[in-house]
Amino acid sequence: MTDELPRANVAADRGGGDAFPAEGQPLLRIEGVAKTFGTFRAVDGVSLDINSGEFFALLGPSGCGKTTLLRMLAGFEAPDEGRILLGGKDIAQALPHERPINMMFQNYALFPHLSVRDNIAFGLKRAGMHRADIATRVAEMVALVKLEGLEKRKPDQLSGGQRQRVALARALARRPQLLLLDEPLAALDKKLRESTQGELMELQRRLGMTFIIVTHDQEEAMTMASRIGVMNAGKLAQVASPRELYEAPRSRWIAEFVGDVNLFDGELKLRDGHRLVIATREAGTLVVAEPREPVSQTKLSVAIRPEKVKLSHRGPVSEAGHETAINSLDGVVADICYLGGISTYKVKLDGGGIVQASVANSARLDVDAYSLNQRVVAWFTPDDCVVLSS
């Protein structure tokens, strides 16, 4: 199996690599790009840098503009405003076939009248490669995606997973500077999706290529991407690493979109060193850590992930206002949901709100588990909280 594709070879294919970014420059720079369909602003002033070798994910709910943005990168839509610089060259108005970018389509868009081999060779023939070189490259690609022996099959004789691989091989065959993947795993079942995620990451690392993936599945984005851009209503809401996105969401919307979260609205009462004291309506007074960017507003929300909320029969020792202050909330278990690895508890607080806690089921026998209507204390530390402006 031909595992390694030397980078030098890749560069040579792109006509001397003249479109490569200069040192320190991003491979792709999106500058204030906007696109309007009729009166609907699908993409609304997006700016973004993507570095060479990155695995970047565009994440967002359906209709947020992520697919439109991807299609503008591929050349199927032209932006109404802004520039798209690839290696310093503006390609915003270039046609799809003029760009060193390839795309893997959501439904794969395999040519039904062509065999696996001819599908993979399709782009190479357009590039005017020699017959022999095409054969070599196709064999290389077939081996890369482990499709040996299926070269003569037509797409309708392949399984879903195999089709996905053909689509990938076809998009990779031209060795694009940038590979776009539009919901590449959406059509696969859960098990296959998980193993394919791993293979895609491994492939991207080995080829050292730049991938941009569009997905609505946050777990998929978190697993695969080194950086994630979250889009909402045509705008980039946050660009961050998966961890940062989850632990330090920049807005209420992101906190709610990425994972589960408990949110309490309140008012800033006191600022004590690195600690903020916030009075909430539903959960009483909470002590939280001051975020990196100091807050300026007084109306704030406190966000806390369910797995950071601990449950116990009795409250932990805590001194309000002190460095070791711990927020503890009294309540009654109102709902239990057993999910296998974890259980989630909904605790109805005496203050009126509901807090959700996920607890790992670390023992087979649930001697310690809480039962419905049991009085419990839900507690968490100031550092577990994220303060968001309302």
Partner 1 sequence: MSEASRLSRFNIASLALGLAFLYLPILILVIYSFNASRLVTVWGGWSLRWYYEFFGDRAMIEAAWMSLRVAVSSANIATLLGTLAAVALSRGERFRGRTLFSGMLYAPLVMPEVIAGLSLLLLFVALNAERGFWTVTIAHTTLTMCFVAVIVQSRLGSLDRSLEEAAMDLGCNPVRAFVAVTLPLIAPAIVAGWMLAFTLSLDDLVIASFTTGPGSATLPIRIYSEVRLGVKPEINAICTLVIALIAVVIVIASLASKLSSSQGESAAPL
Partner 2 sequence: MSGRRIFARPARFAAIAPYVWMVLFFLVPFGFVLKISLSQTAIAQPPYEPVFDLMAGWEVLKAAFAALSLDNFKLLVSDDIYVFAYVRSLTVAVTASALLLMIGYPIAYGMARLPRRWQGVAMVLVIVPFWTSFLIRIYAWINILQHDGLLNQILLALHLVSQPVVWLSTDSAMYIGIVYSYLPFMILPLYATLAKMEPVLEEAASDLGAPPWRVFWLVTFPLSLPGVGAGVLLCFIPIVGEFVIPDLLAGSNSLMIGQTLWLEFFTNKDWPVASAAAMVLLVVLLVPLLLYERLQKRQLEQGR
Q: β-pairing, 210-215 with 178-182?
A: parallel
Structure-block tokens of residue 12:
């040579």
The yes or no reply on residue 117 touching partner 1 (CB under 8 A) is: no
Q: Find which of partner 1, partner 2, none residue 78 binds, CB within 5 to 8 Å per kind.
A: partner 2
The yes or no reply on residue 129 touching partner 1 (CB under 8 A) is: no
The yes or no reply on residue 76 touching partner 2 (CB under 8 A) is: yes
Min dist CB 217 to partner 1, Å, is: 20
Q: Binding residue for partner 2 (CB under 8 A) from 2, 7, 12, 78?
A: 78
- Residues 6 or more apart in contact with residue 371 via CB below 8 angstroms: 333, 336
What strand order describes the sheet that includes 342-349?
A: 310-312, 375-380, 327-338, 342-349, 354-360
User: What 8-state DSSP symbol labels residue 191?
Assistant: H
Min dist CB 139 to partner 1, Å, is: 18
Min dist CB 38 to partner 2, Å, is: 12
Stretch that binds partner 2, among 93-101, 148-156, 214-222, 366-374 (CB under 8 A): 93-101
The yes or no reply on residue 20 touching partner 1 (CB under 8 A) is: no
Size of the site for partner 1 (CB under 8 A): 26
Q: Find which of partner 2, partner 1, none residue 43 binds, CB within 5 to 8 Å per kind.
A: none
Q: Find which of partner 2, partner 1, none residue 77 binds, CB within 5 to 8 Å per kind.
A: partner 2
**DSSP per-residue string spanning 160-179:** HHHHHHHHHHHHHHT--SEE
3-state secondary structure of 341: coil
Decide whether 103 or 277 has the Cβ nearer to partner 1. 103
Per-residue x/- marks for partner 2, 43-72, CB under 8 A? ----------------------------x-
Cβ–Cβ < 8 Å for 310, 347? no
Stretch that binds partner 1, among 94-102, 272-280, 306-314, 317-325 (CB under 8 A): 94-102
Q: Measuring CA to CA, how many Å separate 326 from each of 71, 103, 249, 319, 388?
A: 48, 50, 22, 7, 19
Q: Binding residue for partner 1 (CB under 8 A) from 76, 78, 256, 337?
A: 76
- End-to-end CA distance of the chain: give it in Å, rounded: 55
Burial of 322 (0-12, 13-18, 19+ CB in 10 A): exposed
The yes or no reply on residue 109 touching partner 1 (CB under 8 A) is: yes
Decide whether 102 or 210 has the Cβ nearer to partner 1. 102
3-state secondary structure of 121: helix
Min dist CB 101 to partner 1, Å, is: 8
Structure-block tokens of residue 387:
């303060």
* CA separation for the pair 365, 244 (Å, rounded): 35
Min dist CB 7 to partner 2, Å, is: 31
Residues lying near partner 1 in the complex (CB under 8 A)? 74-76, 95-97, 101-103, 105-107, 109-113, 122-123, 126-127, 154, 156, 170-171, 174
